[in-house]
Structure 1
Amino acid sequence: MKKKMVSMLLCTGMVLSMLAGCSQAAKLSTVMAAGKETSSSTEELAEGNYKIGIAQFAQHGSLDNCREGFLQGLEEEGFVEGENLEIDYQNSDADMGTAGTIAQGFAAKGVDLMCGIATPAAQACYNAALKTEIPTIYTAVTDPVAAELATEDQMPTGNATGTSDKLPVEAQLKMIRELLPEAKTIGIIYTTSEVNSESTIKEYEALVGEYGFALETVGIATIADVPSAADTILEKVDCLNNLTDNTVVSALPTILDKANKKGIPVFGSEVEQVKIGCLASEGIDYIALGKQTGKMAAQVLKGEMKAEEMPFESITESNLYLNTKVAENLGISVSDEVKDRAAETFTEIEE
């Protein structure tokens, strides 16, 4: 009978016995850390000990979700922080120079792998690792080709690969037209030094006319430029559309405050922006994107693939996220058809 029993250690210290006859495949192991009970979804830890440097360009919801998903993906492949994995996480707070310094520090420490979250961080990691053998795995890079991280066939330009968070621009335009049938002009604030934003602006310019819109854009250099840029563009547009521009997203509360005072809706590019006050978005799941990236990193750490051999990947399916409280505040009527299509609907604005 002893061979058929599984002992499980719980945070209370109690020992429970599972019923005899349970199959080996049903056995569950529980990990205790800092007084909290956490369970690992892995069958076993990957062999060895590893150190990863994670460089995140800015502090906002979508990039935080990417990082969370990245760690989940690694854990599912046997790389568990605090057991066989050490994480050096640093955030550059949307400063290009700091991003470069962080990446150079990772290279000097000789980490086993760098993860760059968002285009500027990915570029910084890639450049810092050029004279080393350290692979870079990136995520939340809108256009890896424009960022010179990949070629047109999605293959790496060097020892770096990862995932793209390319926006579903046409789906976003269609959604905006559904919600604002009378709107004529869309405004976009973007950072001129973020190639991901410049690439997306070009796509909007090519498509807005097909949905009966004109496009107004204002470029900024730093986050300090956002308030004046918002004041300028809000005089010219019927709505604002927010990209995955990291500098602008970091200042989104300021933009929302100014837009709300003028009764102008702001559309987001992902779910976290809708939670805090954007009317709606057609976006991807950033936790899923991060998890996909973590699994790519695991292949490299295990020696199954080299980063330079792996094409970058992306998530093509988008989801509609809707905030009915924002619609109510702005006096915007939302059809049942749109409500039914939403993957997630928020009825309040998150502070």
Structure 2
Amino acid sequence: MKKLLCLGLSLVCVFSLFGCDSSDDKESTGGEKEKFKVGIVQIVEHPSLDTIREATVKELEASDLDVEILYENASNDQSLLSTICQKFKDEDVDVIVAIATPSAMAAANFSDDIPVVFSAVSDPVGAGLVKDLEKPDGNITGTSDEIQVDLILDLAVEMYPETKTIGFLYNSGEANSVSNLEKVKDYASKNNLEVVEAAVTNTGEVQTATQTLIDKTDVIFAPNDNTVASAMDIVSSLTTESKTPLFVGADSMVGDGGLATVGINYEDLGTSTGDMVIKILNGTSPSDIPVKVFKEDLSVYINTTVAKAIGFDGIDNLKEQHEDVVEVE
């Protein structure tokens, strides 16, 4: 899927890639206003990633820059990501925005030539994008939606104290999901719980994997895995029908039928991503922009419709125990 969004933004003060001149009214040769191109590559369309993209674009629109945005979607085909990034290079974009870990890993291969800003990467160091979050060592930086696995599983055990087994549904080819699996295993080891894995490689395998976990576990945890998120209608239908609690890694996945999570607001993630792009277009090096990890100001998100359908009636108690509970229908 391909979309071309052209944003003609009014300019109050135009910055070149190398900063402002002494008049603070920099213009390109011939007095024309400087224009920029930003390429946005997204592994797949689903609400969390769409929210990030829309918030990033909105932030660019609110700036005083003249930006043309090229948007490409790989439709969950990782083999297309490098092709898309090569196209951006051929189009001579000024910045690549890479949404989700697979997109970021593909875009990183082009960072010698083009600044890259990633978003929604759970583990930027583990994915090999940067070596130091505070001081990115290359032409790449971005925002991280690091899942607070311990907090989500604490919530699962709080809501279902009899839990003994946790099912983990994920795509084994997604680095962020593999990283979160290790965190789940570590939590389970410390809390005398058993983990049952169900790995998939595409959305066509999600139904069978979900049913396997329903049969073997007390609760299921699906991280912010792009493949699983794309098949949430299937996962939610099966878990709701079987009254199996489904805990997820993103607020949008709660909206798509997961029971609950502890997480961030993805619009804020996109806004911060857009801010980074603006800084780079104004002349700041990506290596001077620390990776921003969203791990504070978290909320408990719970789907009230799903809660009712599976027989969970403790929402009032959750509100007493947690400062910020967001009810989703």
TM over 0.5, shorter chain: yes
SS of 1:235's equivalent in the other structure is helix
Show CA shifts across 1:112-139 (max 9, x none). Answer: 1100000110111111343x2x101110
Query: In structure 2, what is the equivalent of residue 67 of structure 1?
Result: 53
Q: Judge conservation of contact 1:51–1:112 (CA < 8 Å) in 2.
A: yes
Partner residue in 2 for 1:52: 38
Could you tell me whether the CA contact under 8 Å between 2:173 and 2:201 is conserved in 1?
yes
* Structure 2 equivalent of residue 286 of structure 1: 266
CA contact (8 A) 2:60 2:67 kept: no
Q: Is the 8 A contact 1:107 1:129 kept in 2?
A: no
Task: State whether residues 51 and 113 of structure 1, in contact with CA within 8 Å, keep that contact through their aligned partners in structure 2.
Answer: yes
TM-fit CA distance, 1:210: 3.5
- The answer on 1:272 being equivalent to 2:252 is yes
For residues 287 and 110 of structure 2, the distance between their equivalents in structure 1, rounded to whole angstroms, comes to 16
After superposition, residues 1-351 of structure 1 pair within 5 angstroms as 44=12, 46-47=14-15, 48-79=34-65, 84-130=66-112, 132=113, 134-303=114-283, 305-317=284-296, 318-340=298-320, 341=322, 342-346=324-328, 348=329
Structure 1 Cα separation of the partners of residues 134 and 170 of structure 2:
25
Specify every segment of 5 or more residues in structure 2 that has no aligned partner in the other structure, as ranges. Answer: 1-8, 16-33
Q: Secondary structure at the match of 1:259?
A: helix
Q: Distance in 2 between matches of 1:147 and 1:224?
A: 25
User: What's the offset of the Cα at 1:78?
Assistant: 2.2
| Greater radius of gyration (CA) | 1
- What letter matches 1:59 in structure 2? E
Question: Per the alignment, in what secondary structure is the counterpart of residue 234 of structure 1?
Answer: helix
Pair 1:335–1:272, CA change in 2 (3 A): closer
d(CA) in 2 for partners of 1:148, 1:155 = 14
**Is residue 220–residue 226 contact of structure 1 (8 Å, CA) maintained in 2?**
yes
Greater CA deviation, 94-103 or 219-228? 219-228
Structure-2 change in CA distance of 1:49 and 1:76 (3 Å): same
Are 1:54 and 1:115, in contact at CA under 8 Å, matched by a contact in 2? yes
CA-to-aligned-CA distance 1:198-226 (integer Å, 9 cap, x gap): 11111111112444432111122222221
Residue deviations 1:258-317, cap 9 Å, x none? 2222221211222211122111110111110111111111110001x1113322111112
Q: For residue 231 of structure 1, report the CA deviation from its aligned partner.
A: 2.2
How many Å separate the matches in 2 of 1:179 and 1:314?
A: 27
The structural deviation recorded for 1:160 is 0.8
Corresponding residue pairs, total: 300
Counterpart code for 1:302: N
Measured in 1, the distance between the counterparts of 2:268 and 2:241 equals: 35
Q: Measure the CA separation in 1 of the matches of 2:49 and 2:101.
A: 11
TM-score normalized with structure 1 length: 0.81
Conserved 8 A contact 1:149-1:157: no
TM-score for both structures, normalised by structure 2: 0.86
Tell me: CA distance 1:46–1:218, structure 2 relative to 1, closer, same or farther (3 Å): farther
> Is the partner of 1:293 in helix, strand or coil?
helix
CA distance in 1, matches of 2:270, 2:160: 32
Deviation per residue, 1:164-199 (Å, 9 max, x gap): 110011111111111111121111111111111111
Give, in whole Å, the separation in 2 of the partners of 1:323 and 1:335. 10
Instruction: Give the whole-Å Cα distance in 1 for the aligned partners of 2:42 and 2:172.
Output: 19
What one-letter code is carried by the residue in structure 1 that aligns with 2:99? I
Alpha-carbon distance in structure 2 between the residues aligned to 1:268 and 1:236: 18
Partner of 2:28: none
Structure 2: distance between partners of 1:111 and 1:343? 41
Once the two structures are TM-superposed, the CA of residue 343 in structure 1 deviates from its matched residue by 3.4
**C-alpha offsets along residues 23-76 of structure 1, whole Å, 9 cap, x if unaligned?**
xxxxxxxxxxxxxxxxx9x99364421111100111111101111221233234
CA RMSD in angstroms, aligned pairs only:
1.9
CA–CA separation in structure 2 for the residues paired with 1:290 and 1:151? 23
Contact 1:173 1:211 (8 Å CA) reproduced? no
Structure 1: runs of 5+ lacking an equivalent: 1-39
**Residues 232 and 257 in structure 2, CA contact (< 8 A), matched pair in contact too:** no
CA distance in structure 2 between the partners assigned to 1:270 and 1:44 by the alignment: 37
